[in-house]
Amino acid sequence: QKEVEQDPGPLSVPEGAIVSLNCTYSNSAFQYFMWYRQYSRKGPELLMYTYSSGNKEDGRFTAQVDKSSKYISLFIRDSQPSDSATYLCAMSDGTSYDKVIFGPGTSLSVIP
Amino acid sequence: EAGVAQSPRYKIIEKRQSVAFWCNPISGHATLYWYQQILGQGPKLLIQFQNNGVVDDSQLPKDRFSAERLKGVDSTLKIQPAKLEDSAVYLCASTWEGGTEAFFGQGTRLTVV
């Protein structure tokens, strides 16, 4: 079993739709959870960052963490064509010299 | 604030040749990472530096890959000799000491033919 799994898509939705992106993981030591957005031919950029379980909202984006199920989600409301990108979940156990483990990414297209 | 700078942006080489990539992290960031991202996959950590010391290089193919971070600032990643399967984007990222939010450069896209 891979440490972090993510449906690769591609996912195609109409503009204005609510998008749900998900990841599952196997390492119960993970405590820090991140979502990165990666546009074509660009490096990943941090979108959301959460610690432990719960929800975090930032504008149209909501990150949700369920540590009991080892499952994290990113919701995008009122999706826009500019949201078209690959979304990578990433997580870390938060030790002093930690490393971030990335999922394979989900490719999202928002159609005008 | 300037971001993570990487060069070159693109490189095409023949197999068995050597290649080097350069990274300048965000000023003040003690931790520097090199990732390999193969098309359709998430980034995979190759090596992590804390200042000029190596913290984790467990996934670095040491028979052909090497990296250094002299003076704890800039870093170079070298591949010698390159193989076809090394074709990927090589991403450099940095963060402050103890941080877990990595800031990425635009990457170097390597094609080995």
> Tokens at residue A3, please?
């440490």
Whether residue A3 lies within 8 A of chain B, CB to CB, comes out as no
Give the separation between CA B100 and CA A97, rounded to whole angstroms: 9
Q: What's residue A66's pLDDT?
A: 94
Q: Do A100 and B56 touch (CB under 8 A)?
A: no
Q: Do A41 and B102 touch (CB under 8 A)?
A: no
Average of pLDDT values for B71-99? 93
Min mean pLDDT across B73-77, B83-87, B97-101, B102-106 is at: B97-101
Give the separation between CA A23 and CA A7, rounded to whole angstroms: 7
Instruction: Give the model confidence (pLDDT) of B87-103 as tens digits.
Output: 999 999 999 887 767 89
> Tokens at residue B31, please?
């931790």
Pick among B46, B100, B109 to test the A interface (most A CBs inside 10 A): B100
Residues of B in contact with A105 (CB under 8 A): 40-42
> Is the pLDDT reported for residue A97 higher than 60?
no
Q: What's residue B97's pLDDT?
A: 81
Residues of A in contact with B102 (CB under 8 A): 46, 100
| Mean pLDDT taken over chain A | 92
* Percent of the residues in chain A that have a pLDDT greater than 70, as a whole number: 96
Q: What's residue A110's pLDDT?
A: 97
Residues of A in contact with B106 (CB under 8 A): 41-43
| Cβ-contact A108, A15 below 8 angstroms | no
Q: What's residue A60's pLDDT?
A: 97
* Percent of the residues in chain A that have a pLDDT greater than 90, as a whole number: 79
Q: Do B100 and A100 touch (CB under 8 A)?
A: yes
Q: How many CB atoms lie within 10 A of CB A23?
A: 26
> Is the pLDDT reported for residue A1 higher than 80?
no
Nearest to A89 by CA among A31, A28, A21: A21
Instruction: Give the model confidence (pLDDT) of A8-53 as tens digits.
Output: 889 999 999 999 999 999 999 999 999 999 999 899 999 998 988 8
Instruction: Give the model confidence (pLDDT) of B6-22 as tens digits.
Output: 999 999 999 999 999 99
Whether residue A10 lies within 8 A of chain B, CB to CB, comes out as no
Phi/psi class of residue B46: alpha, beta or left (left: φ > 0; alpha: ψ in -120 to 50)? alpha
> Is the pLDDT reported for residue B82 higher than 60?
yes
Residues of A in contact with B41 (CB under 8 A): 104-105
DSSP codes joined into one string, B19-77: EEEEEE--TT--EEEEEEE-TTS--EEEEEEETTEEEE-TTS-TTTEEEE-GGGS-EEE
Element containing residue B95 per DSSP (H, E): strand B88-95
| Mean pLDDT taken over chain B | 93
Q: What's residue A96's pLDDT?
A: 52
Residues of A in contact with B55 (CB under 8 A): 97
| Cβ-contact A83, A20 below 8 angstroms | no
> Is the pLDDT reported for residue A94 higher than 80?
no
Given B42, B91, B101, which is nearest A105 (Cβ)? Answer: B42
Whether residue B17 lies within 8 A of chain A, CB to CB, comes out as no
| Cβ-contact A104, A6 below 8 angstroms | yes
φ, ψ of residue A59 in degrees (nearest 5): 65, -125
